[in-house]
Amino acid sequence: MDNFRVLLIDDEEELVSTLAERLDYRGISADYAISGDMALEKLQESSYDIVLIDLKLPGLSGDELLTVIHKSYPNLPALMITGHGSGEAGDFVKPEGAYSLLQKPINISALIEKMKEAIEANEPG
């Protein structure tokens, strides 16, 4: 599985647009939203294989957005990212419903592997 669609959700537009470009360069179709509301609009307009959500978003938090997405799109896997915490165990907790929680800065190769794992783990059968 090399070709899949991901929706990146992070309020840091420069970071998320660069990440989308880096994924596109690797053959992964990436779209992004800079708010929870924008993400929900994009989810209604297009289909995605996975979402990547920043834990800290203005307005609708990453946790809240994850809950809304899982109610509307129960088969859509999600990864969470955070730039908060020191990275030591216990400083931040993976929200319920998220496949994994990754620390910023994001290692692009590790991110791609985690996305593939989450999509494959979510496939029926």
CB 76 within 8 A of CB 51: yes
CA atoms within 13 A on the CB side of 69: 33
CATH number at residue 106: 3.40.50.2300
SS3 of residue 108 by DSSP: helix
List average pLDDT for each run of 10 residues in the chain, which is 125 residues long. Answer: 88 96 96 97 97 94 95 96 64 81 93 96 82
pLDDT score for 123:
84
SS3 of residue 5 by DSSP: strand
pLDDT score for 88:
46
Torsion of CA 46, 52, 56, 58, to 10 degrees: -10
Q: What is the pTM of this model?
A: 0.92
Q: Which domain holds residue 60?
A: 5-122
Helices 62-72 and 36-45, interaxial angle, to 10°? 20
pLDDT score for 78:
97
pLDDT score for 93:
73
Domain count, the chain: 1
List, in order, residues 6 or more apart from 44 with CB less than 8 Å away: none
Residue at token pair 């053959």: 27
Please tell me what DSSP assigns to residue 37: H
pLDDT score for 2:
62
